[in-house]
Amino acid sequence: MHKHLFAFAATLSVLLGLTHPALADAIDGDWCQLDGKHMTIRGPAIVTPGGQQISGNYTRHFFTYVVPSGETGEGAAVEIRLLNENLAHERRTGDATVHEWQRCKPGIS
């Protein structure tokens, strides 16, 4: 009986090692700041904090775009890096400040 239990445990550990939990590990989604600003990233499309829909450069964990005219900081390059499934950091060229974004609560976009 011990041989069967050992074989079962070994097989189970191998199978569990082959599976990975599905995590929201992509930058896509709705992002909010405590001051009420929000943005939405969907692949290379972004609705900026100023409300304009533009395109940027997208990877699963990183997004860059240039602030469009009419918005604060227009012309600045913005880099957004996903730190975990609920937190992203934003930096702009010429500004050492890191701006924190959190996933919006359900119903906010």
- Read off the pLDDT band of 18 (50, 70, 90): very low
Supply the pLDDT for residue 77.
98
Containing structural domain, residue 53: 22-103
Supply the pLDDT for residue 109.
53
Supply the pLDDT for residue 20.
36
- The H or E element that residue 100 is part of is strand 95-103
81 inside domain: yes
- Read off the pLDDT band of 19 (50, 70, 90): very low
φ and ψ at 6, to 5 degrees? -65, -45
Task: Count up the domains in the chain and report the number.
Answer: 1
37 inside domain: yes
108 inside domain: no
Q: What average pLDDT does this structure show over 29-46? A: 97
CA distance 30 to 47: 9
Q: Give yes or no for residue 4 having a pLDDT over 50.
A: no
